[in-house]
Amino acid sequence: MQIFQYPAQQEWAALQERAAAQQAQDIELRVQQIFEDVRQRGDAALVDYTQRFDGADVRAGLRVTAEEIQAAVAQVPSELQTAIRQAHANIWKFHATQREEEKRVETMPGVTCWRRAVPVQRVGLYIPGGTAPLFSTLLMLGVPARLAACPEVVLCTPPQKDGTVNPVILFTAQLLNISTIIKAGGAQAIAALSGGTESVPGVDKIFGPGNRYVTAAKQLATRYGLAIDMPAGPSEVLVIADETANPAFVAADLLSQAEHGPDSQVILLSDSMTIIEQTQVEVARQLADLPRAAVAAQALEESRAILLRTPEEMLFFSNQYAPEHLILAVRNPEQLGEGVTSAGSVFLGHLTPEAAGDYASGTNHTLPTNGYARNYSGVSLDSFLKKITFQRINTEGLLHVGPVVETMAEAEGLQAHARAVTLRLDSIHAEQTAISNPVHS
């Protein structure tokens, strides 16, 4: 990690820049070409890209069969199955509390408004595979999708070299009652979900993290009328640590994000040079025996340890950076946490590792990265719902609100708007007149 001591605020912007593995413009161009190819050639393009990028032959079929799912479940150790079921229960419990009751409000006498939550009808879940198949991400997306009662859920994930999907992903999919599973990853999977192919149903909204190509593909999908959860990936963490922090804990938290991928970014802020130095030693010691040491080491090359003067200054830096994960390893974490305005998810205190949120505490780990925490939230139950407003106006209500609408519409020069009210009011007045002055034969 690079160390910076008391940088001036005008230097912060440079320190807050995310690492770029490749120029964004080049990535967008390549992703656009993949989209066009998938839209033209459908399954054939997916088969070719899967062979090229994943080294897997899926000519026999892009869809996972029921037999493949059953065979995979038997391969998952019982201890891991138990852990996944417990994580599933915790995530379900937390997200279930996010349900909202439908509330009807009478804004004026006779004018009633309400909002109803309706599930997104067709959702696509993208689960990264490769060297680290993220079955935990499937829990994070599948649980709220099921709670929202989305009618159609399509899962895309890259296959292993032998053309099969990781058994743990298939076990988790079965637990979530997801049966439409596609052997495709990367930007090509996002392209397939955005327009559909012979084997892949098109969807209305795409969820899931990924590398820069997947993130660029999701953003491109919005040009084809789709929604996405958020720009998510590569992973990042910022740790604020004071003199009470445990350097071994801090190092482990930094490495837990660095091992995600070479373009992950980790930042340590501290008001103690001793903590920074001890954490550096711990990072080196722990890195040595990590199975993914080479990946983590690459990420650390672009990571920073920054010495600042006060907790308040560190928090100010963090809010500008807007990290995906924010760990407050300080004496009074909840007090400092009150000042957090931009972060995907916050972890308070010395005994709250970010890894707990990644797997099993209950919160969602699909979070905005690359500074998008300034204006995006992480995935929640709401991500899978549309909120549709309803209103009903009776005679009394139109007599109250009608003149207000007429006055405002006429002021804006929108006469048809005003007339839509006036005609109804005239009808009401005519009916009332007829009732009060009946014609006698």
Strand blocks (E) in 195-272: 205-207, 227-228, 236-241, 265-270
Q: Is 32 annotated for ligand binding?
A: no
DSSP 171-187: HHHHHTT--EEEE--HH
Quote the CA–CA distance of 166 and 67 in Å, as a whole number: 14
Cβ atoms < 10 Å from Cβ of 163: 18
358 is in an annotated binding site: yes
Q: What pLDDT is attached to residue 23?
A: 59
List Cβ neighbours of 208 (8 Å cut-off, separation of 6 or more): 124, 125, 126, 127, 128, 137, 141, 214, 229, 232, 366
Residue of 68, 236, 282, 325 with catalytic role? 325
Please tell me the distance from the alpha carbon of residue 331 to that of residue 59, in angstroms, as a whole number: 57
Annotation says 440 is catalytic: no
- Asked whether residue 211 is marked as a ligand-binding residue, the answer is yes
One fold for 2-19+234-355 and 42-229+382-387: yes
42-229+382-387 adopts what CATH topology? Rossmann fold (3.40.50)
Predicted local confidence at residue 172, as pLDDT: 98
pLDDT at 21: 44
Active-site residue, from 236, 324, 354, 365: 324
Segments making up each domain of the chain, as ranges: 2-19+234-355, 42-229+382-387, 394-436
Long-range CB contact pairs, 279-284, < 8 A, 24+: 279/241, 279/247, 279/250, 279/251, 279/254, 279/305, 280/1, 280/3, 280/305, 281/247, 282/247, 282/248, 282/250, 282/251, 282/252, 283/1, 283/251, 283/254, 283/255
pLDDT tens-digit profile, the chain (441 residues): 899 999 999 999 999 998 654 457 789 999 999 999 999 999 999 999 999 999 999 999 999 999 999 999 999 999 999 999 999 999 999 999 999 999 999 999 999 999 999 999 999 999 998 667 899 999 999 999 999 999 999 999 999 999 999 999 999 999 999 999 999 999 999 999 999 999 999 999 999 988 889 989 999 999 999 999 998 778 899 999 999 999 999 999 999 999 988 889 999 999 999 999 999 999 999 999 999 999 999 999 989 999 999 999 999 999 999 999 999 999 999 999 999 999 999 999 999 999 999 999 999 999 999 899 999 999 999 999 999 999 999 999 999 999 999 999 999 999 999 999 999 999 999 999 999 887 665
Question: Which one, of 145, 159, 157, lies nearest residue 204 by Cα?
Answer: 145
For residue 440, what pLDDT is reported?
A: 62
The reported pTM is 0.93
Report the DSSP beta bridge partners of residue 181: 155
DSSP secondary structure of 375-424: T-PPP-GGGGEEEEEEEEE-HHHHHHHHHHHHHHHHHTT-HHHHHHHHHH
Pairing of strands 265-270, 304-307: parallel
Confidence (pLDDT) at 261: 85
Residue 235 annotated in ligand binding: yes
Known active-site residue 95: no
CATH class of 2-19+234-355: alpha beta
pLDDT for the residue numbered 20: 57
412 is in an annotated binding site: yes
Cα distance between residue 154 and residue 305, in whole Å: 41
Alpha helices in 74-203 (DSSP H): 78-96, 135-147, 167-175, 186-195
| 26 in a labelled binding site | no
pLDDT at 130: 65
54 marked as part of a ligand binding site: no
Query: Is residue 194 a known part of a binding site?
Result: no
